[in-house]
Amino acid sequence: MQAKEEFMPTEFHTNNPQNLWQSQPTEAFKMSADSLRRKAQRMERKARLAVIWAAAVALALFLWFGWGFLSFPQKFQNFGLGPAGLWTMRLGFGLLSLWGLYSGYKAYKILWPHPAASDADLKTTLQSYRQELEKRRDYSQNIWLRSGLLVCFLGIAMVLTPMVVRDIRQPLQLLLSAGPIVAIFILWLAIFIPQRRRQQRKLQQEIDQLREFEREYRV
């Protein structure tokens, strides 16, 4: 990295914002081509490592839940569940196993370094700003679908429900064992959903403003 000191003009015009702005002391900043290349390589390496790590976790989840699915009914025969309960649990494990695989694939799609689109930098700042906001809106709108969280929650529910049904005759024990987790989950939903809706509303308002702007004032 190189830096070159620029000299400040001796006379400032603090009443003229343009002069003031342009005469502020700045050092010309430049990075060497080698350091830029190294940074690019470092970023790619980091992204690939993140994908490998995510893939390993996804594979572990797939194998663990898959093992749960395959080892039925021997593993769970002492749980005191009927055939319907056992099959519900088994399918829940199957769903969770598939979700593990899917989450690995999603991590690859998101994290793997792709070459930039050729016209990515040709976008005007207005287009770029709007698209960035739309990306955020879409991400927050579809996070449940995209990350497969619905499948994951469905799988968890299928695994837990038979045990809850089994223990329904002992409500105190059930409340003690499942109560805190259910309370935390409900609290999280109560905070997360309204907050997300508020954010989406604000993003949508701004996107609409920008779209209107684009329609009205397009070059």
Residue 5 as a binder of another protein (CB under 8 A): the answer is: no
In whole angstroms, the minimum distance from the beta carbon of 17 to another protein comes to 5
Q: CA distances (Å), 108 to each of 79, 137, 179, 200, in order?
A: 38, 21, 36, 26
Kindly tell me which residue out of 10, 74, 78, 125 binds another protein, with binding defined by CB under 8 A: 125
104 touches 62 (CB < 8 A) = yes
Kindly tell me which residue out of 52, 56, 132, 185 binds another protein, with binding defined by CB under 8 A: 132
Binding residues among 90-119 for another protein as defined by CB under 8 A: 116, 118-119
Q: How far is residue 59's CA from residue 201's CA, in Å, rounded to a whole number?
A: 37
Q: How far is residue 91's CA from residue 160's CA, in Å, rounded to a whole number?
A: 12
Residue 168 as a binder of another protein (CB under 8 A): the answer is: no
The strand ranges marked E within 18-143 are 27-30
**Phi, then psi, of 105 in degrees rounded to 5:** -65, -40
Kindly tell me which residue out of 71, 170, 199, 205 binds another protein, with binding defined by CB under 8 A: 199
* Segment interacting with another protein (CB under 8 A) among 10-18, 66-74, 90-98, 171-179: 10-18
Q: How far is residue 161's CA from residue 154's CA, in Å, rounded to a whole number?
A: 10
In whole angstroms, the minimum distance from the beta carbon of 56 to another protein comes to 28
Give the nearer residue to another protein in terms of CB position, either 123 or 166.
Answer: 123
Residue 133 as a binder of another protein (CB under 8 A): the answer is: yes
Residue 36 as a binder of another protein (CB under 8 A): the answer is: yes
Q: Tally Cβ neighbours within 10 Å of residue 77.
A: 10
3-state secondary structure of 41: helix
- Please report, as ranges, the residues that interact with another protein according to CB under 8 A: 4, 6, 12-24, 26-31, 33, 36-37, 39-40, 116, 118-129, 132-133, 136, 199, 202, 206, 210, 213-214, 216-219
